[in-house]
Amino acid sequence: MTTVTGTSVPLTHLDAFYIGGEWVRPSSEDSVDVIHPATEDVYATVPFARESDMNRAVAAAREAFDNGPWPRLTHKERAGYMRAMADELRRRTDDLAGIWASEMGILHVDAVTRGARIPGIYETYAGFADTFDWTERHEPAGGGFGMLLREPVGVVGAIIPWNAAIVAMSFKIAPALIAGCTVVLKSAPEAPVSAYLLAEVAHSVGLPPGVLNIVTADREVSELLVRNRGIDKISFTGSTVAGKKIAEICAQRVARVNLELGGKSAALVLDDYDIATAAASLAGSATELTGQVCSALTRVVVSRHRHDELVEALSAEFAKVRVGNQFDANSDMGPIAMKRQLDMVNRIVAQGVEQGATLAAGGRRPEGLDRGYFIEPTVLGNVDNQSVVASDEIFGPVLSVIPADNEQDQIRIANDSRYGLNAAVFTNDEERAWEFARQIRSGTVGHNAHRNSHAIAFGGFKESGIGREGGREGLIPYTETKVIILDREPKNAI
């Protein structure tokens, strides 16, 4: 039993890596402290992988894929392991919620709710054992017998972010496992403890050695994972800057790659929609995970003649938000995950004001909170869409309200971004919502709220990424398509 500040979690191997089905000692004494964002105390300390540790993890995954049983099991057999993982995760939901809240500052009550959904990810992908078209019979143009097979892509390097680590890793690991892949998971140094819990889950259900390997590493060693020719595919969630670098490296050896990157998503409030209702929805979603959500609706585009009314309504909603410790039941919003992130949020808000935006609400440390990485939820008005607060992903509870000349100008502003992850149209008319949604270049467009659905697919246009996660679309990238053409159908055809 390892006790970590603020939460007692039954983790017994925080000083090791999970490689080849075993807890192994790191090759060096290098380590990283995980800081509790509300207290600034050390929450946990975990080892940092060096090159030899990463190579060992890749070799274990490679051996498990090339010579182990996992890719050779039936899909139903793999699904059995995944359902066992779901059961174990469900048993440890309270542990997971405590870890998630302590690592990055999500409200504990939200972590409980969201964490309870994680087992369903593994169960959903286990269900694809029966419903996905793993094989298709075809009639070749030249005659004979034809079969299209969807086989595992190979060894997957999964690199995850710190804001919702358990969610990101699950939407990579679950489809990879049912497809028959093996995985090296590289957890974020800021929030690695969730991955340790998942390693214990995998170990407890008897997942074959090398199928799932978990290490924590800095950017330099993470790049070695991307460059390693033992890795067939990289699946990355994180910043657009890092994603571009990963794509460049993968292109050099034609490795498969999925990128779920940043966003600067627009919410279009049309003239027929009630301002107070829109403000309540936008303010509510802006404080989720303290605004540290890639799909957050951070650019609010409204007609010029309604701009001031919306800014006032948003400011009034944010004034109601109780900022405090994420474990306090009275808190509506917790801290920013780390000092580095808080400093960036403060810097970009200040730049926005320098560039002409009006600081209408927030932007300061809340009174009475002398420790921790806290900031008031912030509203900026009269924002120019070309300014830094409108063009750069802030990853904090900051809304930029942008005035538009008319509805077509709202669409133009929404699309005038290098990102295209999410969007929303606020209108009472679903026909108009559909019309506007078809014109917005974004991976998801919601109606009257911040919405997305991994059950369908999640991902972005433009610099928001390549590929999709969730649902059937999130499974396909973990497969390779093989066509077999024979003179006649063999007796042992699948």
Give the catalytic positions in this structure: 260, 294
DSSP string of 1-12? -EEETTEEE---
Q: Which of 493, 475, 422 is nearest to 452 (CA)?
A: 422
What is d(CA 59, CA 298) in angstroms, rounded to the nearest whole number? 42
Q: Which of 390, 367, 59, 397 is nearest to 231 (CA)?
A: 59
CB atoms inside a 10 Å sphere around CB 166 = 25
Residue bearing tokens 């999709």:
468
What is d(CA 339, CA 346) in angstroms, rounded to the nearest whole number? 11
Phi-psi map region of 144: left, alpha, beta (phi>0 left; psi -120 to 50 alpha): left
> Are the C-beta atoms of residues 265 and 421 closer than 8 Å to each other?
yes
What is d(CA 80, CA 334) in angstroms, rounded to the nearest whole number? 38
Eight-state DSSP code of residue 208: P
* Helix, strand, coil percent values for the chain (each to nearest 5): 40, 25, 35
